[in-house]
Structures are given as structure tokens and as C-alpha cells.
Amino acid sequence: MTPLIVLTLVLMWQAVLVGYTFTLAGNAADEAVRAGTATPPGGRAAACSAAGTKNLSAAWKGSAKVSCGGSGYVTAKVELHVPVLFPGLIDFPATVTGHAGAVEEVKH
């Protein structure tokens, strides 16, 4: 019975990591698009990428891919890998994606 309980706990922990990665991806996309809307198009990609990875811990930051685009309506896409049991050791090959969009700020 003990191995079954341990296996159940391991699977539950892995499910928590998957859910947490979805949360991180969504939040990173929100941060990236917020920075992208407040930055002129010439520096948007750098500001977007920096803001998208700013609050990620090292376990998720290493494999993070942040991209922004659009004019008028700015979009951000963040891709993160899900760690296997312990963040920072090994990742699943599949990615979790977070998307966000916002209208570009106009400065007068």
C-alpha cells in the first residue's frame, strides 16, 4: 500500500507543477505585454522579453521563450517547460504557453 500512496503523492505533486507552470506562463505574458505597450516599437522586443522573464525563477527562466508583436494591439507569447518533480533538474519536452494582448498606449 505504501508504494501506491507514494506514487499518488508524486503524481499529485507533478500536477501541481504543471498548474504552477501555466500560472507562471500567463503572468509572464501579462508582464511582457504590459511592457510592450508602454515601449516604442523599436525597443519593444527587448523590453517585452526582459519583462516576461523578470519574475521567473531560474528553473523556468532558462527555457523561457518570450515573443511580442503587433502594432496598435500588442500581443505576447511566453513558452515555458514543465519541470519533472524538482524545478531546475530536468524538464518535460512539452511546453506550456501563455498568451496576452493589450492595446498600445498612445502618448500625446
Q: pTM for the complete prediction?
A: 0.82
Instruction: Give, for all 108 residues of the chain, the pLDDT tens digit.
Output: 899 999 999 999 999 988 999 999 999 999 999 988 887 777 778 888 888 888 888 888 888 899 888 778 889 999 998 888 887 778 777 889 999 998 887 665
Q: How far apart, in whole angstroms, are the C-alpha atoms of residue 22 and residue 44?
A: 24
Residue bearing cell 498612445: 106
Residue type, 4: L
The residues facing 80 across adjacent strands are 96
Q: How far apart, in whole angstroms, are the C-alpha atoms of residue 102 and residue 22?
A: 20
Express each pLDDT in 39-67 by its tens digit. Answer: 777 777 888 888 888 888 888 888 889 98
Neighbours of 81 (CB within 10 A): 19
pLDDT value for 24: 92
